[in-house]
Amino acid sequence: MACINPDGTITPSARKILRAAETSLTPAELAAATDLPLYRIRSSLRELVQAGLLREQDERYVTTDAGRTRQVAAS
């Protein structure tokens, strides 16, 4: 599952994850908060961290400033 479209916009599922990760959450908590399967959350987390939109700390994920900006721009 790609979180970033070829034109640079983020997908609806990526937006859901970024919104949910405003508070620091584990992958399982993100799955529960977004109603997305855990396997999709895990693959999305890798992509969003690599893009600088999320940051991981102590196995928890939180939206970065860049992620907040990108999320607002996509709305």
Q: Give one DSSP letter per residue of 52-75, joined into a string.
A: TSEEEETTEEEE-HHHHHHHHHH-
Tokens 């600088």 correspond to: 52
Q: The domain 12-74: what is its CATH number?
A: 1.10.10.10
pLDDT surpassing 60 at residue 66: yes
Q: What is the pLDDT of residue 75?
A: 63
The half-sphere exposure of 48 on its side-chain side, counting CA atoms within 13 A, is 33
pLDDT confidence band for 2 (50 / 70 / 90): confident
pLDDT surpassing 60 at residue 5: yes
Q: Are 64 and 52 in contact (CB under 8 A)?
A: yes
pLDDT surpassing 80 at residue 67: yes
Q: Quickly count: other Cβ atoms within 10 Å of residue 66's Cβ.
A: 14
Summarize pLDDT for 26-65 with one digit per residue, the tens.
Answer: 999 999 999 999 999 999 999 999 999 999 999 999 999 9
Q: What are the residue boundaries of the structural domains of the chain, listed by start?
A: 12-74
